[in-house]
Amino acid sequence: MPATATGAKSRPDPDTSVAERVLPIVGANVIARREKLGMSQRALAEKAGIDRVFLRHVEQGNRAATLVFLAKIADALDTSIEKLAHGV
């Protein structure tokens, strides 16, 4: 554990470790499904009615998506949120 300014050991932020584990999995699942369907990021973003740049960040595992955002992606990819989160 990293030490604080007082020398006490601080606990890692649990949200950070969860995000570091979960976001890349969801992103990889989105990419895999999109590529299986032969869709570009632009086509998926247009079909789902979402911002392409934010979609890119989600696919890269750099940003967390809301459930509404994931629902739009899942619908456009003809899949479920559960399948996009498979392996989490």
Q: What is the 3-state secondary structure (H, E, C) of 24-40?
A: HHHHHHHHHHHHHCCCC
- Please tell me the pTM assigned to this model: 0.81
Q: CA-CA distances (angstroms) from residue 4 to 8, 12, 18?
A: 5, 11, 22
Residue 81 DSSP SS3? helix
Give me the mean pLDDT over the 12-21 stretch: 75
Q: Which two tokens stand for residue 6?
A: 């007082």
Report phi then psi at 87, rounded to 5: 95, 0
Are 75 and 48 in contact by the 8 Å Cβ rule? The answer is yes
pLDDT at residue 4 in the model: 45
The tens digit of pLDDT for each residue in 45-65 reads 999 999 999 999 999 999 999
The tens digit of pLDDT for each residue in 22-36 reads 999 999 999 999 999
